[in-house]
Structure 1
Amino acid sequence: MEYQVNYINPELKLSCYEGKLFRTEAAFQDHLLVWLISGETKIIQADESFVFGAGTTFLIPRNQLATIVNYPKDGLPHKAVAMHLSTKRLKEFYENQPVRSEIKTEKIIRFHRHPLLESCLNSLIPYFEIQNDFPENIASLKINEAITILRTIETNIDAVLNNFEEPGKIDLKTFMEKNFMFNMPLQKFGYLTGRSLTTFKRDFQKTFHTTPQRWLTKKRLEQAHYELAEKNKKPVEFYYEIGFENLSHFSFAFKKQYGFAPTKLLNNYTE
């Protein structure tokens, strides 16, 4: 089996992937704390990209659009422990805790290696062998332990973990121009811009004078043309980063839009 996930409970999982790569689009409802045991993870956001290697621990804040690509490396599968830090859990934790920081950030946070954090996450691995009836109180203890350790080793983490605000209504044009490459359901785009699906579609039509699906496809193909013509990249190097599910779909859409195969631009570049 190329991809396998074992759960302690819905908030704690161990994933193992042995294929060439595994890609997903994310805007998680919860903060996600990840400890990468082996393999490599690339996270692509609108403004920057991150690469995490084996032994790295990082936090993906909730509601952050990103493309996540997981690779095996050095002959080892991509293997990671992931802990969901839900709003419910965090609200309960902070009920009797003083908040020590208001320096807000929405960026992915990489933690320095620390024996407390590594020990906490490493201690979860034996529990993944228990498939059913894992005691809820133990899961709560482990999650609270992790939160306490994060607060110990990262002084500004409270501003992230104690932020329970929901996305407010923001400028649609600016947001979509920045995030068109993320292959999200329209309902998720609506939520992240502070709109219902109906309002999102209505505002989109007023702003761009076309449907979201047509506009997104056009923008992604324009970006693909730029990657081919200006950067001389091969389609396999970027198609998943600009929102296409697979290479054949990208090639078909590109030819339909421009009247020739994407490889023709590469051929012209080398002639």
Structure 2
Amino acid sequence: MSAPDEQSRDNRRPLIGISAYREVAAWGVWRQDAAVLPYAYVEQVARAGGVPLLIPPVDSPDLAGVAAACVAPLHALLLAGGPDIDPQHYAAQRQLATVEVRPQRDAWELALLDAALDRDIPVLGICRGAQLLNIARGGTLHQHLPEEIGHESHRPAPAEFGPVEITLERDALPGSLLGGRISVPCYHHQAIHELGRGLAVTARALDGTVEAVELAGRAFVVGVQWHPEQDTDRRLFDALIAAARVGVTEEECV
């Protein structure tokens, strides 16, 4: 490929769907249901060269069909962090530590993920998104990580990200991008337990907690337990956008 062709591809701005929250929010004189998302996700995708499109949860008797129609124009899907996933999705009893579940969001994001995998577009799952990827492949979660590892370093205090040292497989994603050992910002009290079909663990915290997984046979289907949108290192987002550009024509991008 010639240099001008490479430059043209680099300038393409693929459409990146980002799963959003449905929460009660306040702005101005209003307090009501809203579709919301921490703006760091939007900034990271835009800075990496993608066009961020927020996808709030919806209800429909044809959830799979609506999700497929929503995913159809996208070039990649980003599953954002958020509250605990209902344990019914991995055939477990809900423990007291599992709180603030969002059944509507669970069902919607699982449908979005199914549609994205059917289309074979890149997927990046962040924190809850990584857990959702594991559940969609038949895996399970630890419902309260401190009971397993004996400390709360992965979520040290409300609204406080904890720096966690992790080791990564250098010949797999995301270690091939980030190196063999880094510190990452974490905020989670749950984590992957039994691994889902086709997934490989590609990073762990020093305490053994699974911090990244990759789906075999796909160019870019990755889940990370930490919050890269809170970091100054944009390499993971750059790689997502680069993967989204592959095979995309100029007419399909903004």
TM-score range relative to shorter protein: under 0.3
Looking at secondary structure, tell me which structure has more strand per residue.
2
The one of the two structures with greater contact order (alpha-carbon pairs below 8 A, sep at least 6) is: 2
TM-score normalised by L of structure 1: 0.24
Looking at secondary structure, tell me which structure has more helix per residue.
1
TM-score normalised by L of structure 2: 0.25
